[in-house]
Amino acid sequence: MAGIKTLGQFIIEKQLDFPYAKGELSRLLRDIGIASKIVNREVNKAGLVDILGDAGTTNIQGEGQKKLDVYANEQFIAALTSGGECCIVATEEEDDFVPIDSPVSKNAKYIVCIDPLDGSSNIDCNVAVGTIFSIYRRKSVEGMATLADVLQKGTEQVAAGYVIYGSSTMLVYTTGKGVNGFTLDPSIGEFCLSHPNMKIPADGIIYSINEGNYVHFPDGVKKYLKYAQVEDLETKRPYTSRYIGSMVADIHRNLIKGGIYIYPTTAASPNGKLRLLYECNPMAFIIEQAGGVASDGLNRILDIEPTELHQRTSIFIGSAKMVNMAEALMAEYS
């Protein structure tokens, strides 16, 4: 075991930094880690559905096969319900927030916002997908928590993370004291600390955007793309274009290599496509903690006051220099 630190060990060690902490947040993170291992197992089998039975068919126990995003949603809600530390789950999969109405959970301290399986349209072709989560402390003191407890600004997050189900499965999270990444070792079934204290390069050469929507982009984004494509040896332009279409995978790559990910407003999505509470806020918290920047093009993502559960926003996120340049062009031209 020398040299290996598991997610469980790491969480306990970090908790010792807070002598008065009762361990609730640690247990919540552990529950999310366990559920993500179960989801990982099913995601890894996704290519086998044709021979084992597709969605809509019945498996050997007589249970209907579920679509993986529905399955993931159920696994995370089940883990958060049995853990007893979370009073509300807000998930991309449900129109309304889900109150956890058990005697222990209804007075629990934490709210979880989650996208259980982001980029799930990529599953059919064996491309990386992810889970994104965000944790808030509830504001109300007792009784059932309400929508007002969920609609908090990103600056109020106490923790956030993502799991990437890729060529390896990784869990990356922050509690506001830096970012740490853990790789799942399938032989022992544990997430092991592999990327301590992750930092995003201040500058990069990768831009990630669905350029097929170019004609519908704001002028500031069009100008940024032209800037990215012009030759300039000093700033290593033209940049490289990389777009997986799976936000977690695109942002994870940029976190490691440096880069910018943009999902702007478009004609089809006038408020942007991605959701503030369980996609943009957690990724923004992680990237800021890693030294990067996250903006809606003009304002900091974490400062946006949410008014709706499934609120959307545009997002410009990644290496500080790149996002700052895109923001400057947005301010000038959009």
115 is in an annotated binding site: yes
Q: Rounded to the nearest whole angstrom, what is the least distance from the CB of residue 296 to ligand AHM in the complex?
A: 15
Angle between helices 24-44 and 7-15 (to 10 degrees): 170
Radius of gyration of the chain (CA): 20
Binding mask 259-298 for ligand AHM (x = CB under 6 A): --------------x-------------------------
250 touches Mg ion (CB under 5 A): no
Q: Which is nearer to Mg ion, 127 or 192 (CB)?
A: 127
Residue 85 or 92 with smaller CB distance to ligand AHM? 92
In the chain, DSSP assigns E strands to: 86-91, 98-99, 110-118, 129-137, 159-165, 169-174, 179-185, 190-195, 206-208, 240-241, 260-263, 274-275, 293-295, 312-313, 315-318
Q: 56 to 85, contacts with ligand AHM by CB under 6 A?
A: none
Which one among 31, 69, 85, 118 touches Mg ion, defined by CB under 5 A?
118
Sole residue written with tokens 């970090």: 14
118 near ligand AHM, rule: CB under 6 A: yes
Identify which of residues 138 and 252 has a Cβ nearer to Mg ion in the complex.
Answer: 252
Q: Is 50 annotated as a binding residue?
A: no
**120 near ligand AHM (CB under 6 A):** yes
Between 115 and 296, whose beta carbon lies closer to Mg ion? Answer: 115
User: Does the protein bind Mg ion through residue 31 (CB under 5 A)?
Assistant: no
**Do 257 and 324 contact (CB within 8 A), yes or no?**
no
Please check if 36 is assigned to a binding site. Answer: no
- Cβ 139 to ligand AHM, closest distance in Å? 27
End-to-end CA distance of the chain: 55
Site string for Mg ion, 86-115 (x = CB under 5 A): -----------------------------x
User: Does 210 engage in binding with ligand AHM (CB under 6 A)?
Assistant: yes
Tell me the closest approach of the beta carbon of residue 222 to ligand AHM, in angstroms. 17
What Å distances lie between residue 326 and 37, 174, 176, 232, 318, CA to CA?
A: 37, 26, 26, 17, 11
155 vs 153: CA distance, rounded Å: 5
The residue (of 87 and 277) whose beta carbon lies closer to ligand AHM is 277
Q: Is 210 annotated as a binding residue?
A: yes
SS3 114: strand
Mapped onto helix, strand or coil, the DSSP state of residue 183 is strand
Per DSSP, the three-state class of 131 is: strand
- For 79, the enclosing helix (H) or strand (E) is helix 68-83
Which residues does the annotation place in the binding site for substrate? 118-121, 210, 243, 273
The binding site for Mg ion (CB under 5 A) comprises 115, 118
Which residues does the annotation place in the binding site? 92, 115, 117-121, 210, 243, 273, 279
